[in-house]
Amino acid sequence: QSVLTQPPSASGTPGQRVTISCSGSNSNIGRTTVDWYQQLPGTAPKLLIYRDNQRPSGVPDRFSGSKSGTSASLAISGLQSEDEADYYCAAWDDSLNGPVFGGGTKLTVL
Amino acid sequence: QVQLQESGPGLVRPSETLSLTCTVSGGSISSYYWSWIRQPPGKGLEWIGQIYYSGSTNYNPSLRSRVTMSIDTSKNQFSLKVSPVTAADTAVYYCATEMGSKFDPWGQGTLVTVSS
């Protein structure tokens, strides 16, 4: 059972906009920023969004993040086949005194 | 840019010690925090712990009693030991640079199987 809650799966067709939610509590998302990671099949996770809505260099602006209260969301617009991957949210947790991850959402491009 | 590479045995016997090393290239280990994260087959990510170049550590409470991390700044390496291990410790183990709580970059990961 992960500290942060994500839907196990999401899907969309090419060109569509999809969103992935991440729910936490006042000991994590409610107190600090959220990061998102993309894990393509058979590879290591890669930082996709940091500090709620910042994109590292090289990440397309099709990817965006937002946060409200104790929940966060990742939005992917103009969905492409290469976006098919697992997506994880993460945030520092004051109770754990360390970072916690969501259980991951498997995105399928139909 | 900074690159990380994990190394160590791919098979460990139950009740023995899992030992992994992460080698940092393209930058100095004498900055930032350095973390270990693992992922059991088909499952999600679990943070194991972090170490600063000074040697100070912070471990996941669920693993604290079995985990030891160390750092060798002269070799630009940091290490992880987990003991004793069980089948539940079978996972891909990643090392990563931790900057302001975000992990970037990550090593490619190494699969460690606990089996007799």
DSSP output for B41-84: TTS--EEEEEEETTS-EEE-TTTGGGEEEEEETTTTEEEEEE-S
pLDDT for B99 = 81
B48 sits in the region (left: phi over 0; alpha: psi -120 to 50; else beta) called alpha
Q: Does A92 touch chain B (CB under 8 A)?
A: yes
Q: Which residue has the tokens 């090392």?
A: B95
B15, with CB counted inside 10 A (0-12, 13-18, 19+), is exposed
pLDDT for A21 = 98
pLDDT for A34 = 97
Q: Does A103 touch chain B (CB under 8 A)?
A: yes
pLDDT for B34 = 96
- Up-side HSE of residue B48: CA atoms within 13 Å toward CB? 24
Angstroms from A105 CA to nearest CA on chain B: 9
For an interface test with A, give the residue of B22, B101, B106, B111 to mutate (most A CBs within 10 A): B101
For residues B20 and B80, the answer to whether their CB atoms sit within 8 Å is yes
Per-residue pLDDT reduced to its tens digit, B14-67: 999 999 999 999 998 988 899 999 999 999 999 999 999 999 999 999 999 999
A44 chain-B contacts, CB cut-off 8 A: 94, 106-109
Per-residue pLDDT reduced to its tens digit, A62-79: 999 999 999 999 999 999
Assign A25 a pLDDT band (cuts: 50, 70, 90).
very high
- Specify the pairing of strand A63-68 against strand B102-106: unpaired
Terminal alpha carbon distance of chain A: 28
Q: How far apart are CA B109 and CA B91, in angstroms?
A: 10
Q: Which of A66, A75, A71, A56 is closest to A17 using CA atoms?
A: A75
Q: Which of B21, B26, B33 is closest to B2 using CA atoms?
A: B26
Q: Do B58 and A98 touch (CB under 8 A)?
A: yes
Name which of A96, A97, A103 is nearest B44 (Cβ-Cβ).
A103
Q: Which of A2, A7, A36, A1 is closest to A106 using CA atoms?
A: A7
A98: nearest CA partner in chain B: B60
Q: Does A44 touch chain B (CB under 8 A)?
A: yes
Name which of B44, B100, B108 is nearest A44 (Cβ-Cβ).
B108
